[in-house]
Amino acid sequence: METVDWVAPARLAPTLPWQGWRMDARRDGVEDMVADVAQGLVSGRTELLYYGFAPGDDLDDRADREAAGKRDRGATGDRDAPAERGDGRSRELLAVTCDHSQREVLWRFGRCEAGQSGFPSLAAHFKGVLWTEREMWEKTGCTPVGHPDLRPIMHPEECLPDPVARGAGTFHLPLGPVRADVSESGFFLFDTLGEQIMHMQPQLFYKHRDIESLARGMSPEDALLLAERISGTSTVAHATAFCRAAEQALGCGSSREIEMERVLFGEMERLYNHVHDFSQLASATGMTVAQAQLARAKEELLRLNAQVTGSRYLRGAVALGRSASVDWAAGAARLAAELPAIDRRVRHFLELLQNTPTFVDRLRPTGIVEEEWAKGYGTVGPVARACGLAVDVRSDCLSHLYESTGHACMTAEDAFGDALSRFRVRVREWGVSLDIVTKLLPLLGASSSVDAGSPHAAGRGIGVAESPRGRVGHVLFCDGGKVVSWGIRAASAWNWPVFGLATANGNIQTDFPIIDASFALSYAGLDR
């Protein structure tokens, strides 16, 4: 494939979700680029939407790369360090940042010199990409120079974390990867002193599917099917972010009607997720009646999803460049008829929970995320909003899509950053989501599609959406109507690195299920 200059302005089409925003691209030497991006992030002026490698000639042949990776690990027998492969391939870093005050999205490309086997670490300045750079290092052998915690992350079968706390009375408790219930697979290493948790390290990537590479060469329509399956409980958010990125890359854009449906599906997704999280918190605190009743409400919402769209998890609802195949006359009537009863029951149990001292006392002050961490790690979603940070793409970037319904970013009133604040943020969001759905229902029905765009154009796009867990970002590069490169940033990828810190923040072992439930992290989203 001939080399495409991705920085050229022609590679980027303005689309509806980014209406009113300026999009720009810049290529610098990698040192300058990392320094600039770090400065913007540390000062709080910009927000990072995506960070990784840009498509380059090292990404073209996946089979070759995998074979090389196997050879490297096999030949050295060294599980701690992927072999250096500074082999003259050209490599570029990519950071997509957004500046809310300027309403500008900036694609920063940082060129590594040929043969350069390392790049300056962004994680040395901005902790939100600590895990990301470990992954980039392990995948390519390119070293983030100055990274404060460079360890393998992607192969738990070969390398698990080592205990940190040592000395008399310390105890090391491994938990997982198989755990109670139907939790996803994750391994947790607790260093405890008596009941007190001194340190906790999560290890994921048990469910790594390498979705980004699987999609290479696929049509965006097929890749959308993979996007829907990145994390089942954020199907709509990932599908929406992917479609927005793809529509920009293909130059076809979307329409008001299409976006309105996506907003609706996104809120339907939030409703069942939040109820699930309430139920899990009730379970973690031994409130069995609330757990069962809220789980029942979740099942009712899933069935409602299926009746309206054909899929319990709303798969197939978001389509590329066209409206959903949904009969809105029947669907809207059903939603309008059934949602109020579910809402009444959910609110009743939330009210009871909030007035039950044994529930409230267990949540406060459990699993506190300090505001400084929330900012420093770039946390998103209810975890960030529970610390009082108004981080929500619905009001940050996409506010014009919510013009007809209004949307208020719900931060916690007390902003304590603990499990109770996270619970209360979700309680407030339950009301907001329901309100948006109710206001949208009468407006739906007009089906719409957009011109498919030029199938042979080469272009790039960025799409964002607010999943129930926070901001999801997709970056897509297309050429000749096929996916060339795809980058996925799930909401949980921002929140996982602070989870260990919050767990060890003055809590005891029995607090863990509560912290776990209040974070409501997705494993599959990070593993992807």
Partner 1 sequence: MWAKWLLAGLASGRVTTTYPRHRERELPKYRVHSVPVMNRPCSDFGCAECAEACPTDAITIVQERGRDAVRLDVAACIACGRCVDRCPDGVFAWPEAIDRAEASRERLISTEEATTHDG
Residue ranges that bind partner 1, judged by CB under 8 A: 214, 218, 222, 225-226, 229, 287, 289-290, 292-293, 296, 303, 306-307, 309-312, 315-316, 348-349, 352, 355-357
To which residue do tokens 């050295």 refer?
Answer: 76
Nearer to partner 1, 214 or 415 (CB): 214
CB of 176 to partner 1, least distance (A): 21
Nearer to partner 1, 324 or 521 (CB): 324
Q: Which helix (H) or strand (E) holds 236?
A: helix 235-250
Nearer to partner 1, 297 or 389 (CB): 297
Distance CA 516, CA 528 (A): 20
Nearer to partner 1, 13 or 317 (CB): 317
Nearer to partner 1, 353 or 397 (CB): 353
Nearer to partner 1, 307 or 395 (CB): 307
Give CA angle at 205 (202, 207), nearest 5°: 125
Pairing mode, strands 47-53 and 92-99: antiparallel
Work out the number of other CB atoms within 10 angstroms of the CB of residue 238. 29
CB of 316 to partner 1, least distance (A): 6
Q: Burial letters for 410-436: b for 16+ Cβ neighbours within 10 Å, e otherwise?
A: bbbeebbbbbbbbbbbbbbbbebbbeb
Distance CA 111, CA 1 (A): 20
CB of 317 to partner 1, least distance (A): 10
Nearer to partner 1, 359 or 499 (CB): 359
CB of 307 to partner 1, least distance (A): 8
Sheet holding 187-193, edge to edge: 170-175, 187-193, 196-203
CB of 236 to partner 1, least distance (A): 14
CB of 175 to partner 1, least distance (A): 25
Q: Where are the beta strands (DSSP E) in 58-217?
A: 92-99, 104-111, 118-120, 143-145, 170-175, 187-193, 196-203
Q: Which helix (H) or strand (E) holds 419?
A: helix 419-440
Nearer to partner 1, 225 or 390 (CB): 225
CB of 79 to partner 1, least distance (A): 25
Distance CA 21, CA 465 (A): 16
Nearer to partner 1, 307 or 448 (CB): 307
Distance CA 63, CA 265 (A): 37
CB of 352 to partner 1, least distance (A): 6
CB of 388 to partner 1, least distance (A): 30
Residue 80: Cβ-neighbour burial (10 angstroms; 0-12, 13-18, 19+) = exposed
Nearer to partner 1, 356 or 448 (CB): 356
Contacts (Cβ under 8 Å, ≥6 apart) of 242: 223, 224, 227, 463, 474, 476
Distance CA 43, CA 37 (A): 10
| Residue 380 exposure: Cα atoms within 13 Å on the Cβ side | 26
CB of 414 to partner 1, least distance (A): 22
